[in-house]
A and B are shown apart, each in its own frame.
Chain A
Amino acid sequence: MLWFSILVLIPLVAVVAASTDGGWTRFWSSITNDQTAAAIRLTVTAAAVVTVVNIVMGTLIAWVLVRDRFVGKRILEVLIDVPFALPTIVAGLVLLSLYGPDSPVGIDVANKRPAVFLAFLFVTLPFVVRTVQPVLSELDRDAEEAAASLGASRLTTFRRIILPALTPAIAAGAALSFARAVSEYGSLVLLSGNLPLKTEVTSVRILSSIENDNRTGAAAVATVLLAISFVTIVAFNVMQKLAARRA
Chain B
Amino acid sequence: MSTSLGTAVSFAVAIAIAVSACGDDRAASSTGDALSPASAATSSPADNKISIVGFAVPEVANVAIADAWAKTSAGADIEFETSYGASGDQSRAVVDGLEADYVHFSVNSDVTRLVDNGLVAQDWSAGPNKGVVSSSIVVFAVRSGNPKNILTWDDLVEPGVEIVTPNPASSGAARWNALAAWGQVISGGGSEADAEAYLKSFFANVVSLPSSGRDATATFLGGTGDVLMAYENEAILARQRGEEFDYIIPDTTLLIENPGAVLIDANPKATEWLNFVLSVDGQREFAKKGFRPIIDRVDYGEVDGANKPADPFPAVENLLNIEKDFESWSSLSKKFFDEDAGIITTIILDSGKAS
Contacts and interface: CB of A to CB of B under 8 A. Distances in A.
Interface of A: 7, 29, 33-35, 38, 81, 93, 96-97, 100-102, 110-111, 130-131, 133-134, 189-190, 193-198, 200, 204, 207-214, 217
B290 interface: no
B4 A111 contact: no
Given A101-B223, A193-B209, A196-B349, 18 more contacts: A29-B340, A35-B352, A38-B352, A93-B222, A96-B218, A96-B223, A102-B222, A110-B208, A110-B224, A130-B1, A190-B210, A190-B219, A195-B206, A204-B167, A207-B211, A211-B169, A212-B337, A213-B113
B88 interface: yes
Contacts of A100: 222-224
Given A7-B16, A190-B215, A217-B339, A197 B352 contact: yes
Contacts of B40: none
Interface string B333-348: 0000111100000001
B113 to A, nearest CB: 8
Contact of A194 (B4, B209, B351): B209
A135 to B, nearest CB: 9
Given A133-B1, A211-B171, A197 B353 contact: yes
Given A7-B16, A81-B4, A190-B210, A196 B351 contact: yes
8 nearest interchain CB pairs? A197-B352, A193-B208, A102-B223, A101-B223, A196-B352, A208-B169, A96-B222, A134-B1
A211 to B, nearest CB: 5
Contacts of A214: 339
Contacts of B348: 196
A204 B170 contact: yes
Interface of B: 1-2, 4, 16, 88-89, 92, 113, 167, 169-172, 206-211, 215, 218-219, 222-224, 337-340, 348-349, 351-353, 355
14 contacts: A35-B352, A93-B218, A101-B224, A110-B208, A111-B207, A111-B208, A193-B224, A194-B209, A204-B167, A207-B170, A211-B170, A211-B172, A212-B169, A212-B338
A35 B219 contact: no
Given A190-B215, A193-B207, A208 B222 contact: no
A210 B211 CA distance: 12
A81 to B, nearest CB: 7
B24 to A, nearest CB: 15
B337 A189 contact: no
Given A197-B349, A211-B170, A189 B222 contact: no
B17 to A, nearest CB: 11
Contacts, number: 101
A46 B223 CA distance: 25
Nearest to A192: B208
Given A35-B349, A110-B208, A204-B211, A190 B218 contact: yes
A193 B219 contact: yes
Contacts of B171: 211
A123 to B, nearest CB: 15
A29 B340 CA distance: 10
A194 to B, nearest CB: 4
Contacts of B4: 81, 130
A41 to B, nearest CB: 13
A199 to B, nearest CB: 9
A217 B312 CA distance: 44
Contact of A195 (B208, B219, B223, B338): B208
Nearest to B172: A211
A153 B113 CA distance: 70
Contacts of A211: 88, 169-172
Given A111-B208, A194-B209, A189 B349 contact: no
A93 B214 CA distance: 12
A132 B340 CA distance: 46
A204 B43 CA distance: 41
A184 B219 CA distance: 18
Nearest to B352: A197
A208 B219 CA distance: 19
Name which of B16, B172, B219, B340 has the most chain A CB atoms within 10 A of its CB: B219
A139 to B, nearest CB: 14
Contact of A208 (B206, B224, B339, B351): B339
A87 to B, nearest CB: 14
A206 to B, nearest CB: 9
Contacts of B1: 130-131, 133-134
Contacts of B92: 210, 213
A189 B16 contact: no
A13 B349 CA distance: 32
Name which of A7, A38, A100, A212 has the most chain B CB atoms within 10 A of its CB: A212
B209 A195 contact: yes
Contacts of B223: 96, 100-102, 110
Name which of B113, B172, B218, B352 has the most chain A CB atoms within 10 A of its CB: B352
Contacts of B338: 212
Given A195-B352, A208-B170, A211-B171, A134 B339 contact: no
A33 B340 contact: yes
B211 A111 contact: no
Name which of B1, B340, B348, B351 has the most chain A CB atoms within 10 A of its CB: B1
A6 to B, nearest CB: 9
Contacts of A110: 207-208, 223-224
Contacts of A101: 222-224
